[in-house]
Every structure is written in structure tokens, then in C-alpha cells.
Amino acid sequence: MKKISYFLAFFFLFSSFFSLALAQSKPLKIYISVDMEGIWGVVHSNQVSAESPEYSAARRWMVEDVNAVINGLFEAGVQEIVVNDSHGSMRNILAHEINPKVSLISGSPKPLSMMEGIDESFSGVIFVGYHARAGSQSSILDHTISGAAVYAIRINGQEMPELGINAAIAGYYRVPVIMLTGDEETCRQARALLGKDLVTVAVKEGVGRYAAKMLPRELALKKLTEGAKEAVARITGFKPFLPAPPYDFELVLHNSNQAELGAMIPQVKRVEPRTLRFQTKDYLEGFKLLRVLIALASAS
């Protein structure tokens, strides 16, 4: 019996070592989706709107936050990085100021929106500047995809922030989320949904929806860089996130009239005056239909 126990212990130890060596031998390729509400310094919608004179400063903070994360990734040995601009028109990042070694995806619409460009070739995903779901307390500019239309989104009965919806797209391709940055509440929601071991960097603490206490700027940038290095060092410990199929989507809108056009789609049921519901076996099909319903609601 002891010989069998020793053999099993040796076998599992060897398997773990082999898996770690195999993971480390694979070229590290990281995908970054960057939003704007969770960027350091941002506390108001004026700062994330291209029509506002305050927007130019927030664009600079955005590229600085992203570059701090990129610096940490390269220092940790990452070979390739793709950054997807994921806020609003998705033309926010100052392209000429982002690290010249990375690829930038810019503009919209994009089939996978905030996750455009993700595939099986990536080793991990990082969410930078993300925000909490609609209805969160003391979180900067909380909303879910569309502040004007969406009250809540539920997948298999669980209310999802954007970080969860997007993490499941990464999970569809078997890629884990390894790090998230934003305010304190967003980081808390990320750990609750994706696991307590997720690397999170809170660059500010919400005082209300339009006010926050910021970390000193140099400290925030340092934490972003160090967080990226930690995420890479622990990359083999993260698992992809994807709820089990079939996927039951519920879209709760602010007003009943916003549900009228979407309810005309044969696959979609209007289960309450403001709520549309549908099921899919494929997560990406469900995500794309969800985006169509939100677009129709916003047009109403």
C-alpha cells in the first residue's frame, strides 16, 4: 500500500511539473480589453465623452494606465500583447502614445465588441479600466453595456457585469482572465465572480457614483505594473470562466417601449413588460443576439 501511495505521489508531482514546464514553454501572448470608467482619475461622464473638453485628459490617463500594465507584462517575459480599445466609439486610446511593441484594435462596431480579437492563441486576458454592473453602490459610472437602455443582464439566472459577460467570451476560447483594474467595488465584483485569487488593482475608491478617492498617481502606476507581473507569474493557476450551457439570457430594460422591437424577433420572448428572454446552446450566438437587442432598445 505504501509503494502505491509513493507511486501516486510521484506521478502527480511529475504531472504538475510537466504541465508547468509545458505552459511556460508556450510563448506568452496576452489580450487586454481596456474600458474608460475604471481608469485612474475618471469620476464623471464628461471625462469619458468625446464632446467634452475634459475628455483629452482622460484619454492620456487611459494610455498611461495601459502602458503601466504593458510594462509589467513585458518585464515578466510576455512575447506578444494585443490591446482592444473597448469604450464607447472604441477610438479613445492615443494610438501614437501606446507602447509601440503592441498591436492595437480600434474603432467600432466589432463582432465581439469589447473582446474583438480574442482567440485560442492567447495565454490570458486582462481587463483594464473596467467598471461595476448597473445599480452598484459607490462605484464610478456603474452601468452594464448601455446606461441608457440596460437595467440588468442575467445569464443562467445570475446578474452579470460587463466583466462577467466578457470573461465568458474569453472562456469560450478557453482563455482565463488573470487580472482586472478599476475601482474598489469593480475589483470586489470581479473576485466574487471569477475567483478570489484573481489579481485585481484598485486605482481608486468610489465615494459615490461621481466621486472617488484616487491613489497617488505614481503609486497607481507602480501597482498596475506590479499587478501585471504577478498575474503572469501565477498564470498557470487561473481557469477559464464559462457558465454551463444551455445559456439562458435575460435582458431587463429601463422602459417598456425599449422591449417592443426586440420582442418581434422569433427566438425572443417578452416575459415581462421590460424583460426579454432567449436561450442558446452557443454562448457567442447568445452574446451577439444580446448586443442586437440592446441596439434595438437604444434606438427606441
The set of catalytic residues is: 143
β-pairing, 80-85 vs 29-34, is: parallel
Whether 83 and 63 have beta carbons less than 8 Å apart is answered as no
Q: What is the C-alpha R_g of the chain? A: 20
In 232-264, which positions are buried (b, 16+ CB within 10 angstroms) versus exposed (e)?
Answer: beebeebebbbbeeebbbbbbbbeeebbbbbee
Can you tell me the distance from the alpha carbon of 241 to that of 166, in angstroms, rounded to the nearest whole number?
Answer: 10
Can you tell me the distance from the alpha carbon of 212 to that of 220, in angstroms, rounded to the nearest whole number?
Answer: 14
Can you tell me the distance from the alpha carbon of 265 to that of 68, in angstroms, rounded to the nearest whole number?
Answer: 44
- Residue found under cell 494585443: 82
Hey, how many other C-beta atoms are within 10 angstroms of the C-beta on 279?
14
Measured in degrees and rounded to the nearest 5, phi and psi for residue 143 equal -170, 170
- The DSSP letter of residue 114 is G
